[in-house]
A and B are shown apart, each in its own frame.
Chain A
Amino acid sequence: MPSTVFQASNPAEPPVRRQILAVLGNRHVVFGSSHDHGPVAFSPEHDSVILPRVPSVRDMPEARLIEHLKVDGCQIVERPSQSDNWGDLVLQGPDGARVLIDLKFREDSPTHRELDRLAAEVANRNTVSVPVEVWRFSSDRLSLMISSFQQGKVCHETLVPLNVWEATPNGIFDRAKVLNRVADWEERLATFFSQIAAWIVERPTLSVDQTRTVTMSEELMRNFAVPDRELPILDVLENGEAAASFVPRALWIIGADGRVDLITRSGTDILVYDSEGSPPGWKLADRNRRTQLSNFDRPTFFALLEAQ
């Protein structure tokens, strides 16, 4: 449980206290503080809007972002007409305090040069009567950086995704589903590697080693702000020498539910998890015809291991 009591945000408070719901491309993202953010203020059940799909975040019109933006405890009101047209919206707190906000949308994290430019922009624009902020959304590694003027200087604060989901006419696909799939993948790999370890017990010259890892960072994980995972590589050693390695390559692949490459002295073979087989299990893809699958069992494994 968080150690502090969360209060509805107010433009007069530091931006890091806020929770913000933004539609980025096809995703709904709730941004908030990485610690002590309290209960997530927006939910897929209550705050989803089903919108026409866009091919990518880059193709999303800014108007769509502005139209569906929500800030917990605050209202987004119409921007007053100005001579220089700076700013995209005005955020108004329950006490009527207002902040003029300019939205920026980028793919990458900001560079030092950009941070300097943002700081100068905020410092030049900010006045006591019209406080300003720049909200900079990053789509690759989801984040929202808010540049504001606080206690006489410009601060850049980064909000992280607290929840991410996609709403479609067929239902909600949320971050929890991605987390569950990743957990299930880790479990299936652990079971599979235990099975291999059990197979080689009968041969005293063979042993296994699971000290090496690969980083799992798949597109869907990045899209739903699921942190990278370290997955084990299973090395099979023969008299202490490397004989084969099972390397987890991908979970989300077309036509199967995960891929592990088996690298032996004779080459690389692709193993895929066939979740629709009866029973579900690991299958070996033919080296020349990838769609041709056969059971991956103990004799197959030893045949591949011994092939030169």
Chain B
Amino acid sequence: MSRLIETKRAFDKVTTLLDQEIRKKASNSKDLEKYRAIVEIAFYVLAFGQFEYLVKREANGIIDQNAALKTLDGRAWEILQQKGDVPLRKLLELIFHTDQKLLKSLNDSYSIRNDCVHGNQLLPKEAKDVGYFIQGLEELVENFDR
């Protein structure tokens, strides 16, 4: 079980609490909506960070496994292994290259994450359902080798 599950539970709990505050009229509804938008960004970025960690671990596993082969290909993998610090987009490609649609979607999510972290942007419409997004990431990492 990855930390993404806990993150999803935390997100559901926090947004439920905020929603209940709205229902009970406990605070200004406009303020609560703003807080909700910030919570969504925070959890989106956190979940992607946790996913990134698992992608790196999985990709490094693939690289190490292939580099251990005493073949010509193995030598190429060894060079990659020694290079270290491969950009995340390359690692995503390494793992998800057989599903180009999924790969594109993950690359888009990474761009959204970067825009939120470095560009002070709000979540665009395609990223609004954060709970669903985290669940999707969790389903992907379930298939990783552990």
List residues of A whose CB falls within 8 A of some B CB: 55-56, 58, 107-108, 212-215, 218-220, 233, 235, 242-245, 247, 249-250, 252-254, 261, 263-265, 267-268, 290
Measured as residues with beta carbon below 8 angstroms from the partner, the interface class of chain B is 20 to 34
A96: min CB distance to chain B, Å: 43
Q: Is B6 an interface residue, CB under 8 A from the partner?
A: no
Bound Cα distance from A268 to B19, whole angstroms: 7
Nearest CB in chain B: distance from A189 CB, A:
15
From residue B28, how far is it (CB to closest CB) to chain A in Å?
Answer: 9
B20 at the interface (CB under 8 A from A): yes
| Complex contact A263–B122 (CB within 8 A) | no
Residue in A242, A253, A264, A265 whose beta carbon sits within 8 Å of that of B125 in the complex: A253
Among candidates B16, B23, B126, residue contacting A254 with C-beta atoms closer than 8 Å: B126
Rounded to whole angstroms, the CA-CA distance of A242 and B21 in the bound complex is 10
Main secondary structure of the interface of B (DSSP, over half): helix
Residue B109 at the chain A interface, CB threshold 8 Å: no
Residues of chain A within 8 A (CB-CB) of B120 are 107-108
Interface residue from B16, B25, B124 paired with A268 (Cβ < 8 Å): B16
Give the number of residue pairs across the A-B interface with Cβ within 8 Å: 59
Contact across chains for B29 and A214 when beta carbons are under 8 A apart: yes
Q: B22 at interface (Cβ–Cβ under 8 A)?
A: yes
Interface status of B144 (Cβ within 8 A of chain A): no
Bound-complex Cα distance A268 to B16 (A): 7
Among B22, B33, B124, point to the contact of A263 (Cβ < 8 A): B22
**Residue of A58, A212, A220 contacting most chain B CB atoms (<10 Å):** A212
Tell whether B132 is near chain A: CB-to-CB under 8 Å: yes
Asked if B23 and A214 make an inter-chain contact with CB atoms under 8 angstroms apart, the answer reads no
| A263 B29 Cβ-Cβ under 8 A | no
Bound Cα distance from A235 to B22, whole angstroms: 10
**Which residues of chain B from 14 to 39 have a CB within 8 Å of any chain A CB?**
15-16, 19-20, 22-25, 29-30, 33
Min C-beta distance of B14 to chain A, whole Å: 12
Determine if A213 and B19 form an interchain contact, defined as CB atoms under 8 angstroms apart: no
Since A218-B125, A233-B29, A268-B19 are in contact, a sample of 20 more A-B pairs with Cβ atoms closer than 8 Å, ordered by chain A residue number, is: A58-B119, A212-B29, A213-B29, A213-B30, A214-B33, A215-B33, A219-B124, A242-B23, A242-B25, A245-B23, A247-B22, A250-B125, A253-B125, A253-B128, A261-B19, A263-B20, A263-B23, A264-B23, A265-B23, A267-B16
